[in-house]
Amino acid sequence: MTLYEKLVNRLGGLFRRMYKLNVIGEENVPADGAFVLGCNHTALFDPIMLILSIPRTIRFMAKKESFKTPVIGRLMAKLGMIPVNRGVADLKAMKASLSCLKEGGVIGIFPQGTRCPGVDPETTKPKDGVAMLSYRTNSPVLPAFIVTKGRKLRPFRKTTVVIGKPIKPEELMISSGTPSEYKAATELIWSRICDLEDKA
């Protein structure tokens, strides 16, 4: 059993009970092979909700500042999360993510780039990291949405993770990786993610 699996087993029962976790669409998760997971973002524990909902080892890209948080920072490091310097082109984080996908792994990204509690996700502007990683590794995108009351994650309230069908690389219509292609692909991905909120 890997360290990742041990941590999931130890934390799983507690978090599932505390957040009354329910999962819809688990059958849409590819059993093997690389994919990029894209999801809305409202709370610090969103990665934990996804880790407990998706039966694959997920390496999340997370802002570097979060790793300095006591306890949580150490947990993030043990779960293999990739620290990212926001606001700059972080080549080290990008290389780590590309390497993971090329080896058949899973990378998790929150396209909003930051937590947006209580905010309609359709009014936020997603970043193009998911589309870029998909294009550069020819990996599908798995859309997911964490549904909570008031779009805020709170203990002892029902939390539903809805997992959509994978978006194939060819659906993104990226042929040369131009900014306009990434923008269009990101809009498609984000639309698929936001549509999942109504399926809970």
Residue-level pLDDT at 87: 67
Please say if the pLDDT value at position 3 is more than 80.
no
Pairing of the two strands 35-39 and 106-109: parallel
Residue-level pLDDT at 84: 87
Instruction: List, for residues 122-179, the tens digit of each pLDDT value.
Output: 999 999 999 999 999 999 999 999 999 999 999 999 999 999 999 999 999 999 999 9
Residue 147 has phi, psi (to 5 degrees) of -100, 125
Residue 17 and residue 194: Cα distance in Å, rounded? 26
Residue-level pLDDT at 9: 86
Instruction: List, for residues 83-105, the tens digit of each pLDDT value.
Output: 888 766 678 999 999 999 999 99
Residue-level pLDDT at 176: 96
Residue-level pLDDT at 88: 67
* Alpha-carbon distances of 118 from 38, 103, 110, 124, 148, rounded to whole Å: 19, 37, 16, 12, 10
User: Between 8 and 148, where is the model more confident?
Assistant: 148
Quickly state the pLDDT bin for 196 (edges 50, 70, 90): very high
Q: What is the CATH number of the domain that holds 163?
A: 3.40.1130.10
Say if CB 155 and CB 20 are below 8 A apart: no
Residue 152 and residue 119: Cα distance in Å, rounded? 9
Please, what is the average pLDDT of the chain? 93
Domain of residue 194 covers 3-199
**How many domains does the chain divide into?**
1
